Chains A and B, each alone.
Chain A
Amino acid sequence: MDKEMDKAIYKKIDKEIDKEVGSAKLLLEDGSVFFGKLFGARKIVSGEVIFNTGMIGYPESLTDPSYQGQIVVFTYPLIGNYGVPFPVRENNLLKYFESEKIQVKALVVTEYSENYYHWNTEQSLSEWLKENQIPALSGIDTRKLTKILREKGSMLGKIITHIPNDEKKITEFQDPNNTNNNNLVPEVSVKEPIVYEKGKKRIILVDCGVKNSILQAFLRRDITVIRVPWDYDFLSEKADGILISNGPGDPRKCELTINNIRRAMAKNIPILGICLGCQLLGLAAGAETYKLKYGHRGQNQPCLEVGTNRCYITTQNHGYSIDSNTLKEDWREWFFNVNDQTNEGIIHISRPFFGAQFHPEASPGPDDTEFIFNMFLRVIS
């Protein structure tokens, strides 16, 4: 088969699709173009294109604040099957969602299922995306796209849903991590402290973009949670422990938080870091972080607990990692990823500080590592 002719013919089809109402494209930094069908909002956006290999749980994933600034590609081809759940609340937090709104910049899938069915469904994924002003593309070869991201690393991309009046707008790629030296965390953190009253034990939750499920994990265990902004001087609050949450972007941008953690460590207050929180804990402890080529995003990441034969299947969503070679004395690697040997958690050898790079609260994902919450509880009691 003549490949050039093939391409020419394919372009012909592109044109036809282009003419159709509701078509849109994804442009990548490296020049790749993907044509698809628009099923979300008609809006031009730019962001970091990353892929997630989870096969289920799009309402949870899309509302995960760690995806702030990212165009998410689902490798699983059928999305939208069970619609979007009713907004039920528990402890005044949305159930089945990880925050109040969709956090991703845009969504890219192979096949969007327009028809959906589930007992717990309020609307379709498309309706929900439109409501949240999030563009979404279907009909994309997400495997091809994923392979590009795997080979070349996560890169910037743009979703073009229409020709805007100002054509310049669509020519610039915006790196969410570098734009105006932007820190993404403030965008997803609470602005003022919120107290979730439960039992006697109290923890400070440093909200760098916390997932509801992390909060719920403590509230369900009858712990009172004081949720504070990322840059809040939490040492003024009285608490039994400190939880540093997950969140988006480069951990090194959260200097304020890192400084606060250092001060807390000096006071020997128990600290648990999750995901970004783990990286911040590492930075506070003097270790270094680096950006992974294309990150870990999925629900099947195997993490071995160092010194044991126990391997846990974890949910992950991170683009940066602690370089375990830079861990200071008194710190140990706690977990590592069995697939690529990268760090997945750190622990202090004698003091109550530890962090997990993965998500013990899962959601969506396996609950293998929920024991970490119980460990933390034991430390604070």
Chain B
Amino acid sequence: MIRKRKKFKKVLILGSGAIKIGEAGEFDYCGSQAIKALKEEKIQVILVNPNIATVQTSEDMADKVYLLPVNDYFVEKIIEKERPDGILLGFGGQTALNVGIELFKKGIFQKYEVNVLGTSVEAIRDTEDRKLFSKRLQEINLEIPKSNAVTSVKEALDTAKELGYPVMCRIAYALGGLGSGIAYNSSQLKSIAEKAFAYTEQILIEECLSGWKEIEYEIVRDSYDNCIAVCSMENVDPMGIHTGESIVVAPVQTISASENFKLRSYAIKLIRHLGIVGECNIQFALDPNSEDYRVIEVNARLSRSSALASKATGYPLAFIAAKLALGYGLIELKNIITRTTSACFEPALDYIVLKYPRWDLEKFKKVNTNIGSEMKSVGEVMAIGRSFEEVLQKAIRMLDIGMYGLVGNKVEFEDLEKELKSPTDKKMFAIARAIEGGYSLAEIYRLSGVNPWFLHKIKNIITTKEKLEQLSCSELSPSLLQEAKKQGFSDNQIALLTGSDELTIRRKRKELGIIPYVKQIDTLAAEYPAKTNYLYLTYHGQEDDLTFQEKNQVIVLGGGPYRVGSSVEFDWCCVNAVKTLKKLNYSTIMINYNPETVSTDYDICDKLYFEELTLERILDIYEKERPLGIIISMGGQIPNNLALRFSQANIKVLGTDPLNIDTAEDRHKFSSLLDKLQIDQPAWEELTSIEEAEKFAEQVGYPVLIRPSYILSGAAMSIALNKRELTKYLKKASNVSKDYPVVVSKFIVNGKEIEVDAVAKNGKLICYAISEHIENAGVHSGDATIVLPPQRTYLETLRKIKIVTRKIAQSLQISGPFNIQFIAKDNKIKVIECNLRSSRSFPFVSKVVKLNFIDLATRIIMGEEVPENNYSFFDLNFVGVKAPQFSFSRLKGSDPVLGVEMVSTGEVACLGDDFNEAFLKSLISVGFRLPKKNILLSTGPLESKVEFLESTRILKQMNYKFYATRGTANFMKENGIEAEVLYWPSEEREPNVITYLVNRKIDLVINIPKNTETVELDNDYIIRRKAVDFNIPLITNITFAKRFVEALSEVKLEDLKVESWDYYKV
């Protein structure tokens, strides 16, 4: 029967590094589950992941954590040092998989006798190499898109000619479809292929299946050849749009049983043939007009889709995959939800889930907003309900992009037809507009490729909206109200359409008994009782699955979708808050809806509501659950913004008083407070016209910083150096008015930014950490490289910061976490921002100083006594550096330059004996390669040229060869440094910068923009963009560049210590 399993003692897990487009929090969830699965077996777990904000790198997870780059160099060193007997490659996304393949090729696993657990590297290669993949499929007569793997641009063009345009161009070893694209003609293909060959040696040219249905399955297979299809998923957007960019529903909706089970059968056949052990994802294209199909790809690892499928079905794919990798059979494992039935089954859903991608395209300058075969979204949300209309509207609100639902906002399109045909991130709203505008569904189907079944459902929402618009609140019939709620209309949305207000609608519907009901996700559609409280609310119900008997409950609000500015850090905070609450014997309720998180793992808390973070929904839950109170300071800005409304609605907010939160959030109130406390702040004014703004700017002097109120990641912020720029900006942000005032403040040039992360109790500072930015003010704190403890800040400044922090904590009577940002110059400090909640840097500071700030904060919030921490962080024997991860390469056309708007998608942090070591480790962790020989310099305005001169000399001493644009080369020559002059891109003369970049003759580009806010297409932009497109390290910030050169001259790659987190003792 069951074979004896080989026992493993020590297993290495590779993480996925920083959050980036295509690799987000889902791998924190996967890795965390794997760690849990291994620890149950008493296996020692070693984790490599520099993403310090993850839950998996927490102290109570793996036995040892290496906050080091996930690349072949470092992983080999770790293997050499740790000598694990097993390694898991499937839990860290494409990054881990690629490193695994690389190490396998080099024979490292063999050399150190490391067993690759689960799917073999050979099988992984069969799925990753398109040529091998085709071959394997042909062996068992499965249909694949007609295609040819090519190794040169010419071959690509020849193949395309054979297949006929349009063709799909795919890259082997891709991550989130990077560089893939549809080419409609030869010149488009040429450009895609050239770019692709910068990353890979092989690309695939294939028949274009645009418009076919895209269907996915999550397949699990054990070493006994048992195979199950855990989840089926259907992309609402047809083939041609990357699944990461698609709205996805589970289970499949528009295909017949015959089609579904045929595809399932092919999937299992293939997975067996490939010999996958564990979990994988398989994607099919299905002809909308027959049962014809193609196998598109297999991901032989946990993926975004598998995280989604886990959350959609309640089946813990990563946990099970880890067990199977250890040799368990599916029948030996239990269904974690029912705890009685077997893990060898296929979940039956009695609800529908919908995943909606979250884009942040407007944050990126010049970016192409079309969505297509490459992934650009930075996060996603998942809605659970019992009708398509319900989940669609829920999901749209969950995105937190200001939409009330599918309808209710004013969204206009210049060219609707174009919008439908070449979709952007606003596609769903374009469809809604088209339906309202009288387009026939057939026409919309023709243009958008969205199956008419979905369109009918969307139309139902429009029809209800039109009915609602005709009525006032008092005229609303109970049945219409009920219908609207079943279609996912929020009270607020109904209020807007009927000219009422949210709470009036709420009162009315409650009087009518129209309330949502709580349903459990149980994997078996109620066939067996569930022991797990994985919950959602729906209006398609008549009873709650729960009885709400528990006392002593505390709700923690999550952070919503990952996006620029709010990511895995807040998830770490939420998870830690819940852990502490449990330790304090509270019953915990988590509300969040991001499928990529650990906080939405139903194991983390006593009850998980996979629900909207809106006042309405939280009230619904609050009224049923009657908790002791609600913690809003862990999930970032979404819960924080609701503070005041919670207290108005009589929701007990635990921790800092919502009125004080409002004082910190409201610019006017906060400013008066600072004045009262005699704390300095940059001069600012809230203005409602361009004239006023100009007057103010003249008064305080340029440059000025312009921004809207209530910010998180600095959306739409900008710096104006002069009147011309100010006017231009304000005109662009045309709705400057009484309702939408703009805040203009004095911008401090060459100021140093310093952050304080702290915890206070009843206004008394309990603990704090001060970190310093490498880049000068002007770079968003989320994009800055941050070092802890501060290295180049005057003691005097630090002392002042501490005093001000105490004052603010005292005056706002803070009880819980908070963060203050300062700007320091000449030993003078000014406060630029204050948030009475945990911040992005809480996991970083907690893990570097090894004091869990969230644990402390949670204890304080619950009224526990905590000791004041008098420890001085200046005594740390090591340095932590947090570096941002950018995803510019995914965002075609975007200008990879830093400014006051945040553009990074993730971060890492590494530890070192000194700054230089930690700095270089963190840079390598975000994909930076140390230059070997050739450096291209284009150092911008004269002052930065002068500033960089010393660094140039150091580089020269290190025997680097310089290439430079003319101005920079002349300046260097004047100062006795030779550089080969390259022509500007626009000069179209050789030797040209572009040619050198394309041919990868440059190892590093240092391009300092003349003005961070210029938007014109210029030479500098082209250089930066090409560097990104061709995967060449790029530095655009002068302070950063200087520190990099310093570090480079002091530390060599071999000097970077391979030590685990616990080596660095506080």
Contact = CB atoms under 8 A, between A and B. Distances in A.
A319 interface: no
Interface in A333-381: 338-340, 362-368
Contacts of A153: none
Interface stretch (B340-348, B375-383, B414-422, B584-592): B340-348
Interface stretch (B225-233, B295-303, B952-960): B225-233
Interface in A1-21: 1, 6, 8-10, 12-13, 16-17, 20
A110 B479 contact: no
A16 B479 contact: yes
Nearest to B456: A115
Interface stretch (A144-152, A180-188, A225-233, A267-275): A144-152
A82 B261 contact: no
A290 interface: no
Interface string A49-68: 00101111101100000000
Interface in A30-54: 34, 51, 53-54
A339 B528 contact: yes
A341 to B, nearest CB: 10
B343 to A, nearest CB: 9
B639 interface: no
Contact of A117 (B342, B453, B524, B528): B453
B349 interface: yes
Contact of B265 (A8, A34, A56, A366): A366
A17 B482 CA distance: 11
Contacts of B527: 51, 53, 75, 146, 150, 298
B456 A141 contact: no
A75 B542 contact: no
B260 A77 contact: no
Contacts of B623: 1
Dominant secondary structure of chain A at its interface with chain B: loop
B257 interface: yes
Given A6-B513, A56-B257, A144 B541 contact: yes
B795 interface: no
Contacts of A364: 257-258, 260-261
Contacts, number: 199
Interface in B698-712: none
Given A117-B452, A338-B331, A56 B226 contact: no
Contacts of A304: 331, 344
Contact of A146 (B482, B515, B526): B526
A76 B525 contact: yes
Nearest to B329: A309
A339 to B, nearest CB: 4
Interface string B370-394: 0000000000000000111000000
Given A78-B253, A81-B254, A53 B541 contact: no
Contact of B256 (A56, A110, A362): A56
A302 interface: yes
Interface residues of B, number: 70
Contacts of A298: 348, 525, 527
Nearest to A34: B542
Contacts of B529: 150
Contacts of A55: 251, 348-349
Nearest to A5: B513
A331 interface: no
Contacts of A60: 257
Contacts of A260: none
A146 B387 contact: no
A313 B346 contact: yes
B264 A142 contact: no
B331 A362 contact: no
A144 B543 contact: yes
Contact of A366 (B253, B346, B478, B526): B346
B739 interface: no
Interface residues of A, number: 65
A265 interface: no
A250 interface: no
B261 A367 contact: yes
Contacts of A75: 348, 350, 525-527
Contact of B331 (A17, A54, A309, A366): A309
A150 to B, nearest CB: 6
Contacts of B265: 366-367
Nearest to B249: A78
A119 B329 CA distance: 40
A96 interface: yes
Contact of B224 (A300, A309, A340, A366): A309
Interface string B531-559: 00000000011110100000000000000
A120 to B, nearest CB: 7
A75 B864 CA distance: 46
A275 B957 CA distance: 84
A142 B330 CA distance: 30
Nearest to B341: A339
A150 B346 CA distance: 19
A371 B228 CA distance: 17
Nearest to B252: A56
Interface string B284-321: 00001110000000000000000000000000000000
25 contacts: A6-B515, A12-B513, A13-B512, A13-B513, A17-B479, A53-B350, A56-B251, A57-B260, A75-B526, A75-B527, A76-B350, A111-B387, A118-B254, A144-B542, A298-B348, A298-B527, A302-B345, A304-B331, A310-B226, A338-B341, A363-B257, A364-B257, A364-B258, A366-B229, A368-B268
Interface of B: 1-2, 224-226, 228-229, 251-258, 260-261, 264-265, 268, 288-290, 329-331, 340-342, 344-352, 386-388, 451-453, 456-457, 477-479, 482, 511-515, 517, 519, 524-529, 540-543, 545, 623-624
Enumerate the 6 nearest inter-chain pairs by beta-carbon distance, A residue then B residue, closest first: A57-B257, A9-B513, A364-B257, A115-B456, A75-B525, A338-B342
